[in-house]
Structure 1
Amino acid sequence: MSEGGGLPRLVVLASTYPRWQHDHEPSFVHELSRRLTQWFEVVVICPHAAGAKRREVLDGVRVERYRYGWDGLETLVNDGGIVTNLRRAPWKWLLVPGFVAMQWLAARRELEGDVVVHAHWILTPGFVARMLRAPFVVTSHGADLFALRSKFPMALKRFVLKRARSMTVVSHAMLGEAAKLLDGSKIAVSPMGVDLRERFVPKVGALRESGKILFVGRLVEKKGVEVLLRAMPMVLARIPSATLTIVGFGPLEESLKSECAELGLGGVVTFVGAAPQINLVDYYRAASVFAAPFRAASSGDQEGLGLVLVEALGCGCPVVTSDIPAIRDVAAGMPGMRVVVPEDPRVLADGLVASLSEEMSDASKPDHAQLMERFDWDLVAARYARLLLSARLEETRK
């Protein structure tokens, strides 16, 4: 058992984590970690960022943020993620050794007593977990699996996973790629969750804005926002009152705004920037349709699951999305979804127009109960707890 109480300790290693309450950075690692406090004493080891506290307790989770650079240099992980930041500014590779070493040192201090480690992403948290003397489970969220495919990163991934007790991937679409790195018997599909009990739920009596199309996500190649922009003139030709709201930020923001101007969409498309999860509900409830034109990036990166689809559907918002493997875990048997050929603005426009023109019936409304069965956070956390406890017990039997 851990020093402070009767629960085993779970050391969570992450490269992306909310910097403060209601941050716009992805929150799924925190949402899972806080629910795992039923089974574990949870401590998260994540990188420090400007404006964040070095140490704090968030929703029962002890968060330790390690320094890996001087003020102004801790810019490796936020505003797009590690892979995006390294591509945008190659000099940031100089930050990687310190980033890894300092996470290892911070995690090593927590290895007292009965401990299991949960590493989110194969690289770099998975590498840190591999170098610790503790049982560990690795969760891949997509970019770490689909991108970084050259010889050295692939060898490094195999090195990490060789010692893992098990690996989880967040969709069935990832199984094939994961099996290239690890024995399939050690891989489980276990998605992240969505708060479908209180937050992402339909609002009784809420009126949707006619013709309003919504996109939520990072402005990176794999999200396909440029395809959506090219579809908009064709949507407007048939529904002149249509509008598009883009919620998110990322390295393509300026080029997408320039494309808007070239397409004459200045009064039609609104970029609102990043928004915390707590504010997304209002956007989902107001939109007539949610657009998710996902595509494979030139690097090979692609969507791991697409939880924004679940958030939109949870709020009762119909979805038009590209037919890529990752979305099939959401789309299977789910009313309220139109799946179209990826990277084709004309087909996307047809799907959006059809959805905007359709009177929503009970048969076409998203099935909230079905979403709960697949993505409810409490069920997701229970699955991860069983997996992590199993890894811990396997260690104690040795």
Structure 2
Amino acid sequence: MKVLTLTWEYPPRTIGGLAVHVAGLSHAMARKGVDVNVVTVGENQENSYIEQGVSVHAIPPYFLPPKDFISEIQHLNFSLLEKSIKLINEWGKVDIIHAHDWLVAFAARTLKHIYQLPLISTIHATEYGRNNGLHTDLQRYISSVEWWLTYESWKVLVCSKAMKSEVANIFQTPQDKIAVINNGIDIKNIKTSKESLRTNYASSNEKIVLFVGRLVPEKGVQILIEALPRVLTFEPKTKLLIAGKGPYENSLKDLVRAKGLESRVNFLGFVNDKERDELYRYADCIAFPSLYEPFGIVALEGMVAGSPVVVADAGGLSEIVQHGVNGLKFIPGNAYSLSEQIIRTFSDIPLVARLVKRALEDVTKKYSWDGIANQTLNLYEEIIDESTTTQWVPPWFKNNHIFPAEYYPKFGRYEV
């Protein structure tokens, strides 16, 4: 089976969880003998290589100054489309196209219709969900492209039941068109050094509360900062470490200064995988206070590192963590509730021992990439089988014109 995957981020270009997901799934599929070909964004010049059995083609966008964000994305899609057409013509055959998020929708839809290939898409998040509504013309435009991608797709993949509900409600996508396949994690990739580096981040008598993620409002780091003063009343020697970068960073630093917490909060910026894994290992509590979270791969990473996780009872996080069983939950957006659960991880040592033991068991059992690749491969095979027995243009539609001729170009799914 030959798969063409389109994505706007892929390691080493990692902006959020999407890159981790695409890489993890692609590697697992390659281990099962699938011919996976990833076309993604590159830097400066084209670079094609094979990595863990996956053929990666990193293509720079057109060297034109974009007038705005949307034109930048369209330049990117033209580059991806140009490379993909060359590859498909060279190969002579592709079985299925897999598009990840709206940023590659233009290229994906065009390839679908040029070569009459089945298209599957993964919606990792929605513009509506990220912004708690659509408030600007740009947000409304992005949401319309997301809808268009779901409409053009044979099946729509999402990572949680919460995301299935979100996609169905926002885009009116039929329930039977949406499949839930969780994100996964490569447990063997979460490594910690035997050499103690904890003192790089905090003194030996300080408690570490850790956040890892992109610094944007929906990740809820502001709630964590708001919760810190009450945590400090219980454990004055607590250090909050914030690992990650993003457009909300300066606002968060302003909040820290306004609360007089400069000595208790450390912004680490971008950390590589090794540093991230060390932080997970040495944290006394890992907090994910997201206001919006389709899934939360970082929560899985924290759970296998042997430290207790505290998550907002929201989105995919709520499905991963069972309160008091493999982690702790708090009321989303509620700093008091968050502080209560962080304090529990400091004070109830027997509970923490039970949580971390069960967390590792659950992640190992439910979230391996090999298992997730099996589910995805089964879906691919189902779609490919259906596509071989489905007429691309239904005869009844082509031969029985029920609309004026000028309307037919608007039926993007059909050639008439």
TM tier, shorter chain?
Answer: 0.7 to 0.9
Residue of structure 1 equivalent to 2:77: 100
Aligned with 2:9 (options 5, 16, 20): 16
Residue of structure 1 equivalent to 2:28: 35
Residue of structure 2 equivalent to 1:47: 41
The answer on 1:128 being equivalent to 2:130 is no
TM-score for the superposition, normalised by structure 1: 0.83
Where structure 1 has 5 or more consecutive residues not aligned to the other structure, the ranges are 1-7, 75-89, 296-301
In the alignment, the residues of structure 1 paired with residue 282 and residue 370 of structure 2 have an alpha-carbon distance, to the nearest angstrom, of: 27
Residue of structure 2 equivalent to 1:119: 99
The answer to whether the Cα contact below 8 Å between 2:4 and 2:94 also exists between their aligned partners in 1 is no
In the alignment, the residues of structure 1 paired with residue 62 and residue 104 of structure 2 have an alpha-carbon distance, to the nearest angstrom, of: 17
Q: Which of the pair has more CA radius of gyration?
A: 2
Greater alpha carbon shift after TM alignment, 62-71 vs 202-211: 202-211
Residue of structure 1 equivalent to 2:285: 289
Label 1:187 to 1:156 Cα distance change in 2 as closer, same or farther (>3 A): same
Match runs of 1:304-343 below 5 Å: 304-332=294-322, 335-343=325-333
In the alignment, the residues of structure 1 paired with residue 194 and residue 323 of structure 2 have an alpha-carbon distance, to the nearest angstrom, of: 24
RMSD: 2.9
CA offset at residue 248 of structure 1?
A: 0.6
Which AA in structure 1 matches 2:184?
G
SS in 1 for 2:229: helix
The answer on 1:156 being equivalent to 2:145 is yes
CA offset at residue 305 of structure 1?
A: 0.6
SS in 1 for 2:87: coil
In the alignment, the residues of structure 1 paired with residue 18 and residue 176 of structure 2 have an alpha-carbon distance, to the nearest angstrom, of: 33
Which AA in structure 1 matches 2:40?
C
TM-score for the superposition, normalised by structure 2: 0.80
The structure in which a higher percent of residues are helix is 2
Which AA in structure 2 matches 1:16?
E
CA offset at residue 144 of structure 1?
A: 4.9
Residue of structure 1 equivalent to 2:379: 387
Label 1:14 to 1:25 Cα distance change in 2 as closer, same or farther (>3 A): closer
The answer on 1:170 being equivalent to 2:170 is no
Label 1:64 to 1:199 Cα distance change in 2 as closer, same or farther (>3 A): closer
CA offset at residue 245 of structure 1?
A: 0.9
Match runs of 1:68-107 below 5 Å: 68-70=61-63, 91-107=68-84
The answer to whether the Cα contact below 8 Å between 1:223 and 1:292 also exists between their aligned partners in 2 is yes
Which AA in structure 1 matches 2:100?
H
Where structure 2 has 5 or more consecutive residues not aligned to the other structure, the ranges are 199-203, 391-416
CA offset at residue 385 of structure 1?
A: 1.4
Which AA in structure 2 matches 1:352?
I
SS in 2 for 1:11: strand
The answer to whether the Cα contact below 8 Å between 1:200 and 1:312 also exists between their aligned partners in 2 is no
The answer to whether the Cα contact below 8 Å between 1:135 and 1:392 also exists between their aligned partners in 2 is yes
The answer to whether the Cα contact below 8 Å between 1:334 and 1:366 also exists between their aligned partners in 2 is no
The answer to whether the Cα contact below 8 Å between 2:211 and 2:287 also exists between their aligned partners in 1 is yes
Aligned with 2:176 (options 185, 198, 203): 185
Label 1:244 to 1:153 Cα distance change in 2 as closer, same or farther (>3 A): closer
Residue of structure 2 equivalent to 1:199: 189
The answer to whether the Cα contact below 8 Å between 1:39 and 1:385 also exists between their aligned partners in 2 is no
CA offset at residue 24 of structure 1?
A: 10
In the alignment, the residues of structure 2 paired with residue 272 and residue 305 of structure 1 have an alpha-carbon distance, to the nearest angstrom, of: 24
Identical pairs, percent? 24
SS in 2 for 1:64: strand
Which AA in structure 2 matches 1:140?
I
CA offset at residue 107 of structure 1?
A: 1.8
In the alignment, the residues of structure 1 paired with residue 236 and residue 4 of structure 2 have an alpha-carbon distance, to the nearest angstrom, of: 53
CA offset at residue 366 of structure 1?
A: 4.1
